[in-house]
Amino acid sequence: MTRARMPRPHEVASARRDPRLQRAVAERGLDPAWRTRGACQTVDPETFFPAPSEPADAAVALCRTCDVQGSCLAWALEVGDCHGVWGATTPRERRAMLVAWRGEQQNQPVDSPIREEPLLLPLIQLIAPPKQVAVRDPVGATAG
């Protein structure tokens, strides 16, 4: 088994201009049920995970006809999956797209609704739970 190499800068630059990546960015998080509508539902899953020496042309061709191609690719990039064919891309193409994808997320505005780190906030609250603040009566009167 060979080890995957890091994509070169020109590959990442090319990936940033790739319409498949642009579609994935646009469709990220829009359709949580995309898997149920994929063209791959009626095909043997092995088609999408060819051996390294086998071509992935059949899977890529099927993906290009699929309505949820952008959501599929967005999911694969979100989880960092670099195996098989997802969103009409091969693992090699996705490695370059993944660098561009992560750069896109780091440049995302703070108030963006797309995604914050959902696991960090509960973890931080477990480590340092919010302090209880006693509220004083501003006049100093007691109830009673």
Annotated binding site for [4Fe-4S] cluster: 40, 63, 66, 72
Instruction: Provide the β-strand partners of residue 35.
Output: none
Show binding-site residues.
40, 63, 66, 72
Distance from C-alpha of 99 to C-alpha of 88, rounded to nearest angstrom: 18
Distance from C-alpha of 83 to C-alpha of 59, rounded to nearest angstrom: 13
87, 69 in Cβ contact below 8 A? yes
Sign of the Cα torsion 110, 116, 117, 123 reads positive
For tokens 């092995």, name the residue: 46
